[in-house]
């Protein structure tokens, strides 16, 4: 089997030689264990954000979709597709009853679960729109922002895995949606394919001016995955009692805290506008993920929600896919077909 090991903790952007592919012999299958052939690997921003929580060398953690090739567990027969959190590997052995110690947020259950019934949709959606990123968009938007029909919702990283789903759910709920993304082609995708009312390239547009025109009555909900300057500019245009779901802060993942200390101070405008600002981690709702997956796959089947994917082929290309996603090369969820 092969797996990716992080040889050196990332300093700034992850580099190719921070990683090493290690080949090793899989041990014989023990009682209650399963052997999984990995079909799809997920590359995600948290693999960057959490490098400092580990001391290299460590096995790169991630979600994956795979098919059971051998089983000594009666509830997980051969041929079953599972979603697991066993990292960037091509084959792996796991005990489905034991939680993986990948990341410890204190509350989570990273156990293996059977791929939800996707009713014929591609299995890769199990790590995308009908997986952790889809659940993030679903609960972050609906439980934290609680958008009402007719309200104006702004989404950042809008063409990515989480953002593209969050924006489309807001549309399904009858909101006017404004997305920010990092390229003109992704702006077009958001407007033409996903039906966002407005989309802007935050790298080239005057954000304040664009928002004053696109949202003359102000912003009610902001689904924030970026932080920093862009979020500051967006939050200035919020209405009183607006709701902000802090999903991530990708603009700061490559910085040390000291370097980000000069970021804009948000407190005055939070007070003035009486905003409700709430951070969240998707695992808060883990026992309710099946509820999200049922709605998300229903919306995809009915054509109300488009599950964009950016597919890289080949196990040896996982790092390229990871670096590409961090620099914005992906339109939709970045996945690797092993």
In the complex, which residues of this chain contact ligand NDP (CB under 6 A)? 44-46, 49, 133, 136, 157, 159-163, 181-183, 186, 225-226, 247-248, 250-251, 280-282, 325-326, 328, 330, 334
Cβ proximity of 155 and 170 under 8 Å: yes
Helix axes 132-139, 161-172, angle to 10 degrees: 40
Nearest distance in Å: CB 325, ligand NDP:
5
Strand positions, DSSP E, the chain? 2-6, 19-23, 34-42, 58-59, 64-71, 81-84, 91-94, 113-114, 152-155, 176-181, 198-201, 219-224, 238-246, 276-279, 309-313, 333-337
CB nearer ligand NDP, residue 72 or residue 197: 197
Q: Which is nearer to ligand NDP, 152 or 157 (CB)?
A: 157
Query: Cα separation of 6 and 55, whole Å?
Result: 9
Q: Under 8 Å CB-to-CB from 214, ≥6 apart: which residues?
A: 178, 197, 198, 200
Query: 34 with 68: CB under 8 angstroms?
Result: yes
Residue 261 CB, nearest distance to ligand NDP (Å)? Answer: 17
Q: Which is nearer to ligand NDP, 46 or 232 (CB)?
A: 46
Three-state secondary-structure class, residue 280: coil
Of 18 and 34, nearer to ligand NDP (C-beta) is: 18
Which residue, 35 or 137, has its beta carbon nearer to ligand NDP?
137
Tokens representing residue 214 in the block:
């696109």
Point out the residue whose Cβ comes nearest to ligand NDP: 160
CB of 136 to ligand NDP, least distance (A): 4
- The CB-of-34 to ligand NDP minimum distance in angstroms stands at 26
Asked if 82 and 97 count as a contact pair (C-beta separation under 8 A), the reply is no
Between 45 and 116, name the residue whose CB sits nearer to ligand NDP: 45
As measured in angstroms, the least distance from the Cβ of 1 to ligand NDP is 26
Smallest distance, ligand NDP to C-beta of residue 268, A: 23
């Amino acid at each position: 089997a092969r797996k990716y090991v992080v040889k050196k903790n990332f300093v700034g952007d992850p580099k190719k030689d921070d990683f090493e592919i290690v080949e090793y012999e899989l041990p014989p299958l023990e009682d209650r264990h399963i052997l999984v052939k990995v079909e799809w690997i997920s590359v995600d921003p948290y693999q960057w954000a959490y490098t400092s929580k580990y001391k290299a060398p460590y096995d790169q953690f991630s979600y994956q979709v795979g098919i059971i090739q051998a089983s000594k567990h009666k509830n997980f027969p051969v041929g079953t597709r599972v979603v697991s959190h066993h990292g960037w590997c091509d084959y792996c052995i796991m005990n489905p009853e034991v939680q993986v110690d990948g990341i410890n947020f204190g509350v989570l259950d990273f156990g293996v679960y059977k791929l939800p019934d996707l009713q014929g949709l591609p299995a890769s959606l199990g790590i995308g729109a009908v997986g952790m990123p889809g659940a993030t968009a679903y609960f972050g938007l609906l439980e934290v922002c609680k958008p009402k029909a007719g309200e104006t919702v702004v989404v950042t990283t809008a063409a990515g895995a989480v953002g593209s789903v969050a924006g489309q759910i807001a549309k399904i709920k009858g909101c006017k949606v404004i997305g920010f993304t990092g390229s003109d082609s992704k702006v077009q995708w958001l407007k033409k394919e996903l039906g966002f009312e407005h989309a802007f390239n935050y790298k080239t547009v005057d954000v304040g001016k664009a928002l004053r025109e696109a949202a003359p009555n102000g912003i009610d909900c902001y689904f924030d995955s970026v932080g920093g300057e862009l979020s500051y500019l967006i939050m200035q245009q919020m209405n009183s009692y607006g709701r902000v779901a802090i999903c991530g802060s990708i603009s700061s993942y490559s910085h040390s805290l000291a370097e980000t200390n000069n970021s804009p101070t948000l407190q005055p405008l939070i007070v003035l506008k009486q905003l409700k600002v709430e951070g969240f981690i998707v695992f808060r709702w883990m026992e309710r993920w099946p509820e999200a997956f049922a709605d998300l796959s229903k919306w995809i089947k009915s054509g109300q929600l488009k599950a964009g994917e950016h597919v890289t082929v080949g196990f040896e290309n996982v790092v390229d896919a990871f670096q590409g996603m961090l620099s914005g090369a992906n339109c939709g969820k970045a996945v690797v077909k092993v």
